[in-house]
Structure 1
Amino acid sequence: MDARIDILFSRNCLPSAAFGTIDVLRIANFLWRQRHRKSSAFPLHWRLIDARGRTVKLPSLICDALSPSPDSRFKAPPARTALVLCGLNIESPAHLDETLAASTLEVQLIKARHAAGGIVAAYYSSVALPAAAGVLDGREATITWMLGGWFSHTFPKVKLDMERAITFDGNVLCAGSLDGYIPMALELVRHFLGDELAQTCANVILHDSSRYKQSSLMLSTLAKRTRDGVVFKAKKWLEEHIDKAYDLEAVALASSVSTRTLLRHFQEVVGDSPLGHLQTLRIERARQLLEITVLDLSTVAEKCGYRDTRAFRRLFKSQTGISPAEYRQRYAVSAEHRL
């Protein structure tokens, strides 16, 4: 399952793609480890290379920021490798022509890697490099709109499709926009680790307002505070004991008042009883655990203070309108929403 991604630091490259791609791969590795807790290894390995295929050494400060990193010396069969081309920092089509003319080593590397069966991935202006190498002849590609006319004229054998943000044809992956390295990296995750993990990464990385509106991440009960000292102390105790059995006497003791005074203050300030508030906290905690963990339902229920899974399931459905299983399928980071 392991794969290696080599990121080419060519002349005039835009380094954002290099480190942005690494960020996506690191997130993918983290999510993979969350699902394979018995494994101490990472499935995706990467390194920065120059046009001769040699590893580029980074300053210690950057290395520390990227730690922990997989083994950059990991060797994979060609079919489990990818060569990522950073965008080129060019001023004009004429400047790009000059850059391509001076990129003999890069073009040779691209040809060799593609011929061996590896993936070549380019975005923004660097799509010109695989085109210059001839590996896009007869294949679909996309590029930044600013270079569309120049590209179609310079490389007429390439099937340029400016309507698409990303193309993947004949082991050549192209993304058109300046930030195209993100969907490009996600597509590499999809290719090497599967649809589900790639979708998980997309759900984590990409903005989707509907997820925020519908998921527990927007709920503020856990974060709300009150200026009423009695209620503040009571809420704090309840938040810290979500997984424990409800004890009104203990809540009142923590609030330094009688149970009767506590119930009156709580109703006046919160509009609910301490037990009702605790149930709301527990359901919010359950929603968060269902979204961001792979814990089984009985464990989720236990962490939310319920020893009876069936009772928890009934209460959850009464509060949310759907069962815990349905909620996880719809809102978990592994939910298969389309990109």
Structure 2
Amino acid sequence: MQSTPAPFTVTIIGFDHALSSAITGALDLFALAGISWQRIHQQKVTPQFNVQLATLHGAPVTCINQLSLKPHIALEDVRHTDLLIVPTIGGDLDKVLEQTTGIHVHLKRLLRTGADIAGNCTGAFLLAAAGVLDGKVATTHWGYADAFRARFPQVNLQAEKMVTQQNNLFCAGGGMAWFDLSLMLIERYCGHQVASDTAKSHVLDLTRPNQNVYAGSRQHKFHQDNDILAIQEYMEQNFAKKLSIDALARDHNMTPRTMMRRFKQACGVTPLQYLQSLRLEQARKYLETRPWSLEKIVTIIGYEDISSFTRLFKRHTGLAPSQYRSKFMRH
């Protein structure tokens, strides 16, 4: 982070097929830090950030929703910025990454000047393609985690996290995680009170749990091993029963060792971890839709001990079952 006083300069990079809300929403949130709360409470307005949209050659860009955005400045002309943000890629990843290679040199150039660099959701793919995340911790949308790992094995991806930070490199998870990222960066530059006031004035949660609270077991089926897919489908239909590795392997004509190896290679998790994710996913559905007691839910999904299930649920989602029900139950 730069040592210069507020207002700080925030630059968001625009490109064709970006998610417009990850650009305009973040610009709004930074631009109104020190303003919205103060206006509500009739206090002196104290802007904390100057914001700008930058594109290659200063050309207008068309977002994935066909919204056309006119930049404030050409990316080539940005000599200093405190914070540089890459928004979500809303279009086809391969095509957008191919079309945005000209951005790479400017990411590395501005990183060398000491700017904080942040990527939202699939914007982390662009950062990784530029090489700035090599050997660094990062996150991206949970649904694209396997594709990210396959493409960028040199990056330490922690897809369960909503936001990651290593030195002056930041990443956020899902497409709308731009407000988690923005609020964290507002707190980094302006302190907790300004970030909290900004969140409250925009009716946002200052902190949210990790991405596992939104992810489903489907993310572990993006592979081509048909034998393992058959095992997964059997587990999905029988997750409440007592399942043994030996029996699963035998019924699918494998040795336990071979099944364990192929399952982990295909899914990225062990059979036990996958079984846990199935049970937790079903528990989440019941908590969202049924007024049943936790004891009943735990029994139905195949667990016997409520306390151990509660610890597992909280470790996986970041919320206790009662908190999850309060937050997500459909009325």
Give me the TM-score of the superposition, normalised by structure 1.
0.50
Distance of 1:194 and 1:55 partners within structure 2: 35
Question: Is residue 154 of structure 1 aligned with residue 155 of structure 2?
Answer: no
* CA gap 1:30/1:158 in 2 versus in 1, 3 angstroms: same
Aligned to 2:196: 199
Query: Would you say 1:101 and 2:98 are equivalent positions?
Result: yes
3-state SS of the aligned residue for 2:15?
coil
Contact preservation (8 Å) 1:48, 1:56: no
What's the counterpart of residue 14 of structure 1? 19
Q: Shift of the alpha carbon at 1:161?
A: 0.3
Q: Report the CA distance shift for 1:89/1:76 in structure 2 as closer, same or farther (over 3 A).
A: closer
Kindly report which structure 2 residues correspond to 1:56-135, keeping only aligned pairs within 5 A, or say none: 78=80, 81-91=82-92, 96-135=93-132
Runs of 4+ with deviation above 2 angstroms = 31-39, 54-58, 75-78, 202-208
Tell me what 1:220 maps to: none
1:206 to partner: Cα distance: 4.1
The one-letter amino acid paired with 1:192 is Y
CA distance in 1, matches of 2:91, 2:144: 11
Aligned positions of 1:224-239 closer than 5 A: none
User: Could you tell me how far apart the structure 2 residues matched to 1:47 and 1:55 are?
Assistant: 14
Shift of 1:135: 1.0
Preserved contact between residue 164 and residue 172 of structure 2 (Cα < 8 Å): yes
User: What letter corresponds to residue 34 of structure 2 in structure 1?
Assistant: N
**Structure 2 CA distance for partners of 1:31 and 1:55, relative to 1, 3 Å:** farther
Identity between Structure 1 and Structure 2 (%): 25
Kindly provide the CA deviation profile for residues 257-309 of structure 1, in whole angstroms up to 9, marking residues without a partner as x. xxxxxxxxxxxxxxxxxxxxxxxxxxxxxxxxxxxxxxxxxxxxxxxxxxxxx
Instruction: Give, in angstroms, the shift of residue 181 of structure 1.
Output: 0.8
Q: Which runs of 5+ in 2 are unaligned?
A: 206-331
| Shift in Å, 1:42 | 2.4
**Is 1:175 matched with 2:172?**
yes
- State whether residues 139 and 162 of structure 2, in contact with CA within 8 Å, keep that contact through their aligned partners in structure 1: yes
CA contact (8 A) 1:45 1:72 kept: no
Amino acid across the alignment from 2:179: I
- CA 1:182–1:157 in 2, change beyond 3 Å: closer, same or farther? same
Shift of 1:26: 3.2
Q: Say if 1:76 and 1:15 are closer, same or farther in 2 by CA, change over 3 A.
A: closer
SS in 1 for 2:22: helix
Code of the aligned partner of 1:164: K
- Is it true that 1:5 corresponds to 2:6 in the alignment? no
The alpha carbon displacement at 1:5 in A equals 0.7
Query: In 2 relative to 1, CA 191–130 (structure 1 residues): closer, same or farther, beyond 3 Å?
Result: same
State whether residues 143 and 177 of structure 1, in contact with CA within 8 Å, keep that contact through their aligned partners in structure 2. Answer: yes
CA RMSD for the aligned pairs?
A: 3.2
Q: Give the 3 Å change call, closer, same or farther, for CA 206–177 of structure 1 in structure 2.
A: farther
Instruction: Decide whether aligned partners of structure 1 residues 118 and 131 sit closer, same or farther in structure 2, where only a CA change above 3 A counts.
Output: same
Contact 1:47–1:55 at 8 Å: present in 2 too? Answer: no
* Corresponding residue for residue 285 of structure 1: none
1:18-54 deviation digits (Å, cap 9, x = unpaired): 1111221233130575699667x622100111024x4
2-structure distance, mates of 1:24, 1:125:
20
SS at match of 1:174: strand
**Distance in 2 between the 1:194 and 1:56 partners?**
34
Paired with 1:164 and 1:187, the residues of 2 have a C-alpha distance of 13
| Amino acid in structure 2 at the alignment position of 1:87 | T
CA distance in 2, matches of 1:89, 1:123: 11
Q: Structure 1: 5+ residue runs without aligned partners?
A: 63-70, 209-339
Larger radius of gyration: 1
Distance 1:141 1:157, change over 3 A: same
